[in-house]
Chains A and B, each alone.
Chain A
Amino acid sequence: DTAVSQTPKYLVTQMGNDKSIKCEQNLGHDTMYWYKQDSKKFLKIMFSYNNKELIINETVPNRFSPKSPDKAHLNLHINSLELGDSAVYFCASSQGAAATYEQYFGPGTRLTVT
């Protein structure tokens, strides 16, 4: 019954490694997002996918790449991890572009880079 799910919930890895975080939504939504929440709790949008098309790409390093195999999934792949990548990453989805559509968030993935 989980609306938006992410795996893994915790990820501890060393600098320089490559890792992926998976996200799935079963709400039938058209748009999915990735957010990064830093230690100061600031939630910053990273990417948005609408019907498998990237429509937002904020000023994030190209080490981060979103991959959407279908409308229900938006995975985040990170190359050459750095200490500054340590944060909580949230996946979210919304129904569409109308103003009334709020976002539903996944439980978050806490990434720690050592």
Chain B
Amino acid sequence: GQNIDQPTEMTATEGAIVQINCTYQTSGFNGLFWYQQHAGEAPTFLSYNVLDGLEEKGRFSSFLSRSKGYSYLLLKELQMKDSASYLCAVRLNTGNQFYFGTGTSLTVIP
């Protein structure tokens, strides 16, 4: 089976930096994706990593270490609107399958 773990909840201060970790144990890894989901809304794509290293997209960066089965999402210059759930998802190389972690609920406080 597939196993993807994330912290359940995190709190951070507006303007700060927060790192959300994701560890995974899967067969046939073919990429790791991060999605943002605001309460009552659909998940929206943030970033993906296929190779090891850091991918930067504005205030958001994502890192991947395939040998360690580890990824993190880094959010800089936090804003109140960043309060949301952040979902880590692993894509497998068979049958176009995606498996999501349980999500990390981030609360940004003033």
> What residues of chain A have their CB less than 8 Å away from a CB belonging to chain B?
31, 33, 35, 40-45, 48, 50, 55-56, 90, 94, 96-97, 99-100, 102-108
Main SS of chain B's interface residues?
A: strand
Known contacts: A43-B87, A100-B48, A100-B50. The answer to whether A55 contacts B95 by CB under 8 A is yes
Q: When the two chains form their complex, are residues B102 and A31 in contact, meaning their CB atoms are under 8 A apart? A: no
Q: When the two chains form their complex, are residues A105 and B44 in contact, meaning their CB atoms are under 8 A apart? A: yes
For B46, give the chain A residue with the smallest CB separation. A102
Smallest CB–CB gap between A6 and chain B, Å?
9
Q: When the two chains form their complex, are residues A42 and B95 in contact, meaning their CB atoms are under 8 A apart? A: no
Set of chain A residues within 8 Å of B30, measured between Cβ atoms: 99
Set of chain B residues within 8 Å of A50, measured between Cβ atoms: 95-96
Set of chain B residues within 8 Å of A56, measured between Cβ atoms: 95-97
Set of chain A residues within 8 Å of B60, measured between Cβ atoms: none
* Contact with A107, one of B42, B48, B85 (Cβ below 8 angstroms): B42
Known contacts: A31-B96, A48-B96, A55-B95. The answer to whether A41 contacts B43 by CB under 8 A is no
